[in-house]
A and B are shown apart, each in its own frame.
Chain A
């Protein structure tokens, strides 16, 4: 029983990371049609910014710095590199792939390839006893943050004008323009939000793994992409549900099956979903 509790909470913690990355990825693709392979870079930038800022100003300042760095990177990438290429999707993909490789190389040249020890709040290193299980408190940090982000995103999408524009744009960008709305501004906004969420994932991932390394973003990104496809492109709720499924599946299969079987099972799940429900769990790309 204690193993099941621990696996569940660890799976949900991982799901929280996947969700934070996937929701931004999903909105960016759903609205702007951009397959953003540089999304993992936003995560790494956020993580390194926090890691760098913490010795200077402490964690309370360093965390917002990391999130802001992710957001700024997202906005900058959209404005400088993606925007000139909206009519050329192939070049766009190449640019994001190139950027993610260059970004990893840059981080490596500045701070080295070795993992750096990542700071975390003291309480996150404690454990809480649930039933017979000793659950590390960082799991609750991850899960709690993801739940707050999910609620905040849904409120934003359903209660604000920009949220309305994004939901409509995911369905039909051209029609949003034909209503007199500058949909490109919404593109910049989703990149910024996606960057902030990826930065958050970078910070939390650093705390969870206890370290940060240049390639961390890229490896999480692979699973986030799978979550996006399973959840349905452009759907935030779909991303959340798919992240939970993927996180739990991975944890349980890795524990009870052979080593690495968890990752294989996630890919198998992806294939199954594509076979049975090609447009993902959310089916219609409605940003609900």
Chain B
């Protein structure tokens, strides 16, 4: 297992948001982290990264990581594509990418191959990019470096259908090289990419198993995710 999360608890602003979350992420393929809005998916990722204080234990590649500074953890090979992209709007596309480079030989080849548009828009301020283009920048930032795991939070949120499938295609290619823990609301994308699934409910893990078992069962999908059909 590349990531082992045990009994992860987070309290924020007086509320107990995560109450003992436990799950594993295997060292290959895509694992989906699912659940209704506000259930704590983003908080789980941020707790793993050390952006919010948490108790319990998290092991990344066998090393305990809770309490380590975020930047050190990231440098040890954990890539993060946050919800809402968080590109730096005042910086150009090229500057956004340059900032993300960690090692001596960044993989610009892959980035330019997957996102030729970013090369053409290198000098454009990231704040003026479309949502889909900003998502490309956010994903490109983690592709520049060698990672052992990617945490990707709702990469298709707010994107047009054609862009959603383009993003899914990119993630599917990326997942051949590096495992991904993917938060995703679009169940068609989950179906296409994810092998395993972890479902959060009321601050705890309500279900774990194969993504196909979850999505193949309409009743289970409805009770766990509150949606009818994938």
A172-B91 Cα distance, complex, nearest whole Å? 12
User: A182 touching B71 by the CB < 8 A rule?
Assistant: yes
User: B71 touching A171 by the CB < 8 A rule?
Assistant: no
Closest to A170 in B: B90
A114-B86 Cα distance, complex, nearest whole Å? 52
User: A164 touching B70 by the CB < 8 A rule?
Assistant: no
Residues in A with CB closer than 8 Å to B69 are 177, 182
Residues in B with CB closer than 8 Å to A94 are none
Contacts A178-B49, A178-B74, A182-B71; is A286 near B100 (CB within 8 Å)?
Answer: no
Residues in B with CB closer than 8 Å to A178 are 49, 51, 70-71, 74, 80, 82, 86
Instruction: Confirm or deny: B102 has a beta carbon within 8 angstroms of a beta carbon on chain A.
Output: yes
Contact of B86 among A165, A175, A286, A287 (CB under 8 A): A175
Closest to A179 in B: B100
Instruction: Confirm or deny: A131 has a beta carbon within 8 angstroms of a beta carbon on chain B.
Output: no
User: B90 touching A288 by the CB < 8 A rule?
Assistant: yes
Residues in A with CB closer than 8 Å to B51 are 174, 177-178
A254, chain B: closest CB distance, angstroms = 36
Instruction: Confirm or deny: B95 has a beta carbon within 8 angstroms of a beta carbon on chain A.
Output: yes
Interface size in chain B (residues, C-beta < 8 A): 22
User: B74 touching A175 by the CB < 8 A rule?
Assistant: no
User: A183 touching B71 by the CB < 8 A rule?
Assistant: yes
Contact of B89 among A171, A179, A287 (CB under 8 A): A171
User: A287 touching B90 by the CB < 8 A rule?
Assistant: yes
What are the interface flags for A136-167 relative to B under an 8 Å C-beta threshold, 1 for contact and 0 otherwise? 00000000000000000000000000001101
Residues in A with CB closer than 8 Å to B88 are 167-168, 171-172, 175
Candidate in A164, A172, A179 with the most chain B CB atoms within 10 angstroms: A179
Closest to A285 in B: B90
Instruction: Confirm or deny: A84 has a beta carbon within 8 angstroms of a beta carbon on chain B.
Output: no
Closest to A158 in B: B95
Instruction: Confirm or deny: A181 has a beta carbon within 8 angstroms of a beta carbon on chain B.
Output: yes
Residues in B with CB closer than 8 Å to A284 are 89-90, 127
Instruction: Confirm or deny: A180 has a beta carbon within 8 angstroms of a beta carbon on chain B.
Output: yes
Instruction: Confirm or deny: B229 has a beta carbon within 8 angstroms of a beta carbon on chain A.
Output: no
A7-B86 Cα distance, complex, nearest whole Å? 46
Instruction: Confirm or deny: B99 has a beta carbon within 8 angstroms of a beta carbon on chain A.
Output: yes
Instruction: Confirm or deny: B41 has a beta carbon within 8 angstroms of a beta carbon on chain A.
Output: no
Residues in B with CB closer than 8 Å to A179 are 71, 74, 99-100, 102, 141
Closest to B75 in A: A180
Instruction: Confirm or deny: B222 has a beta carbon within 8 angstroms of a beta carbon on chain A.
Output: no
A180-B74 Cα distance, complex, nearest whole Å? 5
B27, chain A: closest CB distance, angstroms = 21
Closest to A235 in B: B90
A84-B86 Cα distance, complex, nearest whole Å? 27
A181-B73 Cα distance, complex, nearest whole Å? 10
A161, chain B: closest CB distance, angstroms = 8
Residues in A with CB closer than 8 Å to B74 are 177-180
A165-B99 Cα distance, complex, nearest whole Å? 7
Instruction: Confirm or deny: B98 has a beta carbon within 8 angstroms of a beta carbon on chain A.
Output: yes
User: A164 touching B82 by the CB < 8 A rule?
Assistant: no
A170-B90 Cα distance, complex, nearest whole Å? 10
Contact of B90 among A175, A176, A286 (CB under 8 A): A286
**Can you list 29 A-B contacts with CB-CB less than 8 angstroms, sorted by A residue number?**
A164-B91, A167-B95, A168-B99, A171-B89, A171-B91, A172-B86, A174-B51, A174-B70, A175-B82, A175-B86, A176-B99, A177-B51, A178-B49, A178-B51, A178-B71, A178-B74, A178-B80, A178-B86, A179-B100, A179-B141, A180-B75, A180-B102, A181-B71, A181-B99, A182-B69, A183-B71, A284-B89, A284-B90, A288-B90
Known: A180-B102, A284-B89. 20 other contacts (CB 8 A): A167-B88, A168-B88, A168-B95, A171-B88, A171-B89, A171-B91, A176-B99, A177-B71, A177-B74, A178-B49, A178-B51, A178-B82, A179-B71, A179-B74, A179-B100, A179-B102, A181-B99, A182-B71, A284-B90, A287-B90
The 9 tightest CB contacts between A and B, nearest first, are A286-B90, A180-B74, A177-B70, A180-B75, A175-B86, A168-B88, A178-B80, A177-B71, A180-B102
> Contact residues of A with B, CB < 8 Å?
164-165, 167-168, 171-172, 174-183, 284, 286-288
